[in-house]
Amino acid sequence: MLTIIINKKYSAGMETKRTALALFSSSLLVLAGCSSAEQAEVADAPTSEEGTAAAVDGASVVVTTTILGSVVGEILTCAVGSDASMTVVMPVGADPHDFQPSSEQVAAMSTADVVVSNGLFLEEGLVSVLQSLETDGVNVLHIAELVDPIPFADDHGDDHGDDHADDHGDDHADESSEEHAHGDFDPHFWFDMERMALAAELIGSELATATGVGDYDSCGVSVAADVRSAEADVIAVLQAVPDASRVLVTDHDAFGYFAERYDFEVAGVVVPGGSTLSDPSSRELAELVNVIERENVTAIFANTATASDVVAALAAEVGRDIQVVPLFVGSLGGPGSGAEDYISMMSLNASLIADALTD
């Protein structure tokens, strides 16, 4: 039996084509192997008062974000007969840019066989921790660095959507700018489902190497195939958006991969830079209002993990009816949200975007 132990606030489901059942509790998710003849069951695993998993037998995997946790969990679940535990550090609904780990969570990472992180400074509160762990010899896998990351765009609102895939080498952000706290490269790779499929393959390979369980390699390939299959449905949904309406204004600079992969243009962002922790100036907001008017933008896409006061104020400033549509950006949703796992999250976001831009 494979036991996947989640932070107590992480109650996201993992629905896959290969798992028979997925049962939830507030602090524990236990999944059986991917054979249809096996059944999932809930077991009492040792947890601390804060909900972080205590030590259990078998390989230990710690994942930083719920989005990566969904994919890693499916890979672990698929390996029939393996004995591994997974701890997801961030709870559902957490903003990865703003999350600070507890000392117990750091301790769990320090004893893990593999730590799977997003990287490229997405987990801003974990950067120094992860660096220290690597110095101490912990196996930390920084996924975003391995899937051909793209630079942040220098500017939104010009001709960003035209041939931007060919101009990445010249589009590095100004290193001195406080707006780009992440550095030059965009960490939000999961909005390109092909890159997430590649990530699944890389994770499976690394887990196989680190644990000696060869099934993880093939399971990574299997999960990648599921992601690619689901992407075909996402693309079909997005095809409903007319060419003239394929313009995005988002709460922060997180949709560069989405725009590149699915042929959209990011015309502007409310919060400057690739982090949610910056504050827009009045001049920047005024310029964004002009962009919204010039591009005839009909919707502003907000973030379920962050407050939308600035987004609401911006919408009011436009002076005409404009939708504010919350998307799942840096975290999965809880039970009943429709975004309980990675594929569901991407499918729901695609539907929300398509609906908003085809009204």
Looking at the domain assignment, is residue 159 inside a domain?
no
60 & 205 share domain: yes
Looking at the domain assignment, is residue 57 inside a domain?
yes
Domain count, the chain: 2
8 & 30 share domain: yes
192 & 176 share domain: no
C-beta of residue 22 within 8 angstroms of C-beta of residue 14? yes
145 & 292 share domain: no
347 & 213 share domain: no
Structural tokens at position 220: 């990574």
- pTM of the predicted model over 0.95: no
Domain harbouring 305, CATH code = 3.40.50.1980
Q: How many residues are given for the chain? A: 359
Residue by residue, pLDDT tens for the chain (359 residues) are: 333 543 433 333 333 333 332 322 223 233 333 332 222 222 233 333 333 333 334 789 999 999 999 999 999 999 977 789 999 999 999 999 999 999 999 999 999 999 999 999 999 999 999 999 999 999 999 999 999 999 998 655 444 334 333 433 333 333 333 333 446 899 999 999 999 999 999 999 999 999 999 999 999 999 999 999 999 999 999 999 999 999 999 998 999 999 999 999 999 999 876 666 567 778 888 999 999 999 999 999 999 987 678 888 889 899 889 999 999 999 999 999 999 999 999 999 999 999 999 97
101 & 175 share domain: no
Looking at the domain assignment, is residue 156 inside a domain?
no
223 & 86 share domain: yes
Cα–Cα nearest to 331, from 321, 317, 320, 341? 341
44 & 70 share domain: yes
Q: Which domain holds residue 284?
A: 164-180+233-357
Looking at the domain assignment, is residue 155 inside a domain?
no
Looking at the domain assignment, is residue 201 inside a domain?
yes
114 & 46 share domain: yes
Q: Is 18 exposed, middle or buried (0-12, 13-18, 19+ CB in 10 A)?
A: middle
Q: What is the dihedral of CA 275, 281, 286, 287, to 10 degrees?
A: -50
Structural tokens at position 290: 């002009």
Looking at the domain assignment, is residue 170 inside a domain?
yes
290 & 311 share domain: yes
